[in-house]
Amino acid sequence: MDDYFSPNLKVLVAEDSAPVRLVIKTYLGKLGIVPHFAEHGRQALNMLGPDNFDMVFMDVHMPEVDGLEAVAEIRKKGLKIPVIAMTTADDPEIQQKCLQSGYDDFLFKPITKEDIFRTLLKFFPEPK
């Protein structure tokens, strides 16, 4: 993990909880990544262009437009970017809905540094 430094990886984090945003910012920062933040799904959709991000970490439960609606919209636009659901581990029904809506993978809350690292490695084995 100490060797993985990826300052050119463009990550969008959509999360309505300020404390969770701060945790993710800190963990990604240790890997050289400075993420952009959205506070709900509508803002994330407005920020996301065809080619401006490499990856999205997106909370499932958010005001305005939630993660399920937002990821469905992302897929409807034809964007193939990896979108990772941030949710709790104890609700298999939600997880099923996430996959059906177009999420690629999960980060279960409370999110650890190791979880984030594993997820990055899975989608971007070579740092950017």
List residues binding Mg ion (CB under 5 A): 16, 59, 61-62
Backbone angles phi, psi at 94, to 5 degrees: -65, -40
Q: Shortest gap between Cβ of 44 and Mg ion (angstroms)?
A: 12
Closest to Mg ion by CB, 16 vs 104, is: 16
**In the complex, which residue's CB is closest to Mg ion?**
61
Q: How far apart are CA 126 and CA 120, in angstroms?
A: 9
Closest to Mg ion by CB, 10 vs 61, is: 61
Report the SS3 class of residue 117: helix
Q: Shortest gap between Cβ of 97 and Mg ion (angstroms)?
A: 15
Closest to Mg ion by CB, 9 vs 71, is: 71
Q: Shortest gap between Cβ of 128 and Mg ion (angstroms)?
A: 28
Closest to Mg ion by CB, 30 vs 97, is: 97
Q: How far apart are CA 113 and CA 110, in angstroms?
A: 10
DSSP string, 51-111: SS-SEEEEESS-SSS-HHHHHHHHHHTT----EEEEEETT-HHHHHHHHHHT--EEEEESP
Comparing C-alpha atoms, which of 58, 28, 61 is closest to residue 45? 58
Q: Shortest gap between Cβ of 77 and Mg ion (angstroms)?
A: 23
